[in-house]
Amino acid sequence: MTTAIRRDRVGWPDLLWLTWRQHRWQLLTVGGGAVLGSLVWLALAWLINSTGTTDHGFWFIGGLRGPSQLIAELPAAGAAVIAVFWAAPLLSREYEQQTHLLVWSQDLPPTRWLLGKVVLLGVPAVGLSAGFGAAVLVLLDAVNEAMPQVPGRGYYVPFSPFSSLSFEAAPLVQVGYAAFGFALGLAFSALTRRTVLSMGLTLGAFVTVRFLVGNVWRPHFMTPVRTYEMYEPRFRDPTVVDDQRVGSMHIRGGYADAAGREVPFPSVCSDGYRGGDEDNYIKCVTDHGVVQYFTDFHPADRVVPFQLIEFGVFAVLAAGLLAVAFTRVRRR
C-alpha cells in the first residue's frame, strides 16, 4: 500500500516548477530574444572597434550608424513590453480563469503565491533588461569612438552621455524601468482582475510616468551650472564651445547685463541685423543692456548621479506598487 506524503507547505522548488510550467514559453521567448539581441549588439560593437569605422554594409543596410540609432530605442521599449505583456496579464489571467483558487487550495497562501511570481518572474525580467541595456550601451560607445573628427568640433559624438538613448540604456536605469514596469503591471492586474483592461491601463500609466520623469523632472534633479560669455564674440566663431559643456545637458540660454542679471532681448535691434550692419546691431544690443550670453546646463560628469537619482525614483515607485499589489491580493 502506498503511503501518502503530507507536506506542511509548498516549497520554493514547487513554486519554481509551477511558474516554469505556466510561463515557460513566455520566459523562453522574451529571454531568448533578449540574449540573442545582446549577442548581436556585442558582435557589432566588436566589428566597429576592430575596424575603427561604422561603414559596414549588410544586405540593405548601408552602414551601422543608422541602425545603431534604431537599436538604441529598444531598451526604452523593453520595460514597456515587460509591463504590458509580462506583468499586466500575470494575475488577471489567473483570476479570469479561476486557476488561483486551485493553487490556494494546496496549502499555498495568496501572498506566498504572489511572492513566488515576483521573485521567479520579476527578477529575471529585471536582469534581462539590465543585460540588454548594457549590450546596447557597448554598441553606442563603439559608434562614438569610430566617429571621425570634425574640424573645429572634434568633441562631437552622436550618442552623448546625456542623450536620452545613452542615458536610458545604462544598466542601472534599465533596472529601475523594468522593476517599475513589472510592479505597475502587477498592481493594475491585481486591482482590475481583467487582462485587457490592466494591459491598457499599464501602457498608458507607464508612458505617462516615463515622459514626466524623463522630460519634465530629469532636467531639475540638480541645480544647473550657469556660464557667461561676452555677447559679441559669439558672432566670430560659432563652432567654439566651452569644454565644460561638451556632452552636457542643455537647459536654457539667455541674455544678461554686465552684472549677470538676466535681461530680455531687445527685438528693436533685429532690423539692423537683417540689414547686414552687424556693428550697429551689436551696438544697439549693448546699448539696451545686453552684454553677456548665459547658458544653463548640467555637465557630463553629472550623468552618473542623475542615473542614480532616476533609478531611485523608479525603485521607490516600484516598491509602492508592489505594496499595493500584495495588499490587494491579501484582501481578496
pLDDT of residue 91: 84
Q: For position 7, what pLDDT does the model report?
A: 52
State yes or no: pLDDT of 5 exceeds 70.
Answer: no
135-151 tens-digit pLDDT = 999 988 888 888 766 54
Q: Are strands 249-256 and 262-263 parallel, antiparallel or unpaired?
A: antiparallel
Supply the pLDDT for residue 47. 86
H/E segment holding residue 252: strand 249-256
Overall average pLDDT of the 290-319 stretch:
93
pLDDT score recorded for residue 99: 65
Cell 503511503 found at? 3
Whole-structure pTM value: 0.83
* Residue 247, pLDDT score: 77
Kindly report, residue by residue over 130-139, the tens digit of the pLDDT. Answer: 999 999 999 8
The alpha helices in the chain, defined as continuous H runs, are 12-51, 65-71, 74-81, 88-97, 99-104, 110-117, 123-146, 164-169, 171-192, 195-211, 270-274, 278-287, 303-331
Query: Is the Cβ–Cβ distance between 229 and 293 less than 8 Å?
Result: yes
Phi and psi at 254, nearest 5°, equal -175, -170
Question: What is the reported pLDDT for 212?
Answer: 96
Confidence check: pLDDT of 235 > 60? no
| Lowest mean per-residue pLDDT among 65-69, 128-132, 164-168, 237-241 | 237-241
Q: Tell me which of 288 and 295 has the higher pLDDT.
A: 295
User: How open is the CA angle 82-307-80, to the nearest 5 degrees?
Assistant: 15
DSSP-assigned letter for residue 254 = E
* Residue 50 DSSP SS3: helix
Residue 186: closest CA among 322, 314, 42: 322
CA atoms within 13 A on the CB side of 220: 5
The whole-number pLDDT of residue 149 equals 62
Question: What is d(CA 96, CA 251) in angstroms, rounded to the nearest whole number?
Answer: 48
Query: Which sign does the torsion angle of CA 280, 286, 289, 294 carry?
Result: positive
Contacts of 210 (CB under 8 A, 6+ apart): 76, 177
Query: Which has the higher per-residue pLDDT, 132 or 18?
Result: 132
